[in-house]
Amino acid sequence: MSTFNIDERSTDGESLCKSCMWVHIQRGFRESEEAIFCGHAYPTRAVKFAVRECTDYSSRITPTRKEMEEIALIIPVERLRKPAGFVGRNTFAPQDENDENDQRQQS
């Protein structure tokens, strides 16, 4: 599992839980009325302080591997190399006319 530091993302001291996919947040009418629950493991557990680091953090913004595979484009790639090995005299054919003329002049 990876650890994610909030220091790298934000400097205002906001809890890491607010951008996690496992979080359940309940907010009241006042700013002080907020309950945060972590749903990574069952049963969900209350988080009573602002979290700076979490080993179970999974960003809600970043797509999962499955989502990335679903949106990925499959690009067909042609083989760039010819098969390895030797070619016999009977199967060899010059690519263009200039090569053929050069071979005749050398003989």
Query: Tens of pLDDT along 69-107?
Result: 999 888 887 777 777 777 666 666 656 555 555 555 665
Which pairing describes strands 23-27 and 34-38: parallel, antiparallel, or unpaired?
Answer: antiparallel
57: exposed, middle or buried (C-beta count within 10 Å: 0-12, 13-18, 19+)?
A: buried
Rg (CA), the chain: 31
> Is residue 7 pLDDT above 50, yes or no?
no
User: 70 vs 67, 77, 107, CA distance in Å?
Assistant: 5, 19, 59
Number of separate domains in the chain: 1
What number is the average pLDDT over the span 31-56? 85
Q: Is residue 6's pLDDT more than 50?
A: no
User: Is residue 77 a part of any domain in this protein?
Assistant: no
* Burial readout 5-27 (b: 16 or more C-beta within 10 A, e: otherwise): ebeeeeeeeebbbebbebbeeee
Would you say residue 12 lies in a domain? yes
Residue 100 belongs to a domain: no
CB atoms within 10 A of CB 84: 5
Give the residue with greater pLDDT, 40 vs 4. 40
**What range does the domain containing 15 cover?**
1-61
Question: pLDDT tens, 23-42?
Answer: 888 888 988 888 888 888 88
